[in-house]
Structure formats: C-alpha cells, structure tokens
Chain A
Amino acid sequence: RKEVEQDPGPFNVPEGATVAFNCTYSNSASQSFFWYRQDCRKEPKLLMSVYSSGNEDGRFTAQLNRASQYISLLIRDSKLSDSATYLCVVNGGDSSYKLIFGSGTRLLVRP
C-alpha cells in the first residue's frame, strides 16, 4: 500500500464549481497533516494544515478522519487561479519531522 495515496486526476471543472479531493495514508502513527499546492515546475506551497476537528480557510475546507486514515479537501467557487496540483502530505510517524507526499491530484479550472 502506498504511504499516501491520491487520485491523480485530472479534475476538469468550470469556474464556480465545487471540487473535492480525497487522500488516504497508511501510517496510523502520523500526527501532522497538510495540503500543499504545486504549480508546474514550482515548489510546493502550503495551502493549509488539517486538524481533527476540520478547518476552513475561505473557500477551502479540510477534513481528517483518523479512524479511516482519510483526508479531504473541498474547494468551493473554484477560480481559474486554483488550477494546480494538490498534494496531500503527512508526517512520517510518531515524532518524525519528515513529510511524506502523495503524488498529487491535478486540477484544471476552465472559464
């Protein structure tokens, strides 16, 4: 089983659509969870941390289900500028500072 698994996409949606990304992770000892976005040939940029209670930042909502080892990201009212690859990221286990990246889900928002 992959350490962090994501649907590769691409997700092709019109502007204004709501889109959801899902991710599963294999290490039950992971304690930190994040969504990053990566534009083509650029560095990963932190989008948001993901907390057990769920959290929202503007149009973005992240959820974590530790029992199912499942993380989600919801983007509402998508913009052209949201087009990017979305990376699900977890830490490597109890007290580990290494980040383990999923392969990413590509999002294309069309006019």
Chain B
Amino acid sequence: EPEVTQTPSHQVTQMGQEVILRCVPISNHLYFYWYRQILGQKVEFLVSFYNNEISEKSEIFDDQFSVERPDGSNFTLKIRSTKLEDSAMYFCASSAGQVLPGEQYFGPGTRLTVT
C-alpha cells in the first residue's frame, strides 16, 4: 500500500538554526500539506501546495517558513531560524486531485526539538 514517508524521524537543532524537513508524498497525489502538532495539543494546518505553488497557508506559516518541491518526488518544509516554540511533530500529508477536499494521508512525522 502506498504511503507518505518523512525524514528524519527526529531532528534536534539549536535556536536560530535552519532546518529542512523532507517528505515523499504518495506518487500519484497532486496536493501536498504540512501540519504540526505541539505535544499535548491538536493537529494544526500549516500550508497546502498544488501545481508548484502555495494554495493556502495559516497564520502560523510566517516568513520563517517555506516549502518547495525540488524534484518530482520530494516535498520539503524549511524553517529559517528556529525558535523554541517551533518544537513539535511535523506531519506531511498528500491527497489525490479532486474537486472537493478529499482524503489526506499522513506520513509518520518528524519530531523537531529546538534547544
């Protein structure tokens, strides 16, 4: 069964450093997403990406964040200058193309710890 994969599973970084989180969405999917979940809190939407551009983003997704699809398979989330409050689980998701928002499938997540 096709699945979303993410690397690394755990990333520890110092405040102010840049991090890149990587995802490989399901191969025939056209829509890609990043969500985050701070420990003990609910899953929150960050950004959606379609046709090589951002289609929607939340207020969390400020200038410190960027996304890219550098090739035909990878989808990345970059945080330019990490803050302590960026510590969270980051989930990548993908969905097939459809008229209405369809079923999104999540990767196993990257746990980001900012010290």
Contacts and interface: CB of A to CB of B under 8 A. Distances in A.
Interface in A34-92: 34, 38, 41-46, 49, 87, 91-92
Contacts of A19: none
Interface stretch (A9-17, A20-28, A97-105): A97-105
A105 to B, nearest CB: 12
7 cross-chain pairs, A with B, having the tightest CB-CB distances, nearest first: A91-B101, A43-B106, A98-B45, A101-B43, A32-B101, A103-B42, A97-B101
A18 interface: no
Contacts of B50: 97
Contacts, number: 61
A34 B103 CA distance: 8
Nearest to B40: A103
Interface residues of A, number: 24
Given A87-B43, A104-B42, A99 B108 contact: no
A41 B58 CA distance: 23
A40 to B, nearest CB: 11
A26 B104 CA distance: 21
B104 A102 contact: no
Interface in B6-28: none
Interface of A: 31-32, 34, 38, 41-46, 49, 87, 91-92, 95-104
A47 to B, nearest CB: 10
B108 A32 contact: no
Contacts of A49: 103
Nearest to A90: B101
A99 B56 contact: no
Nearest to B57: A98
A96 B102 CA distance: 10
Contacts of B108: 42-43
Contacts of B95: 97
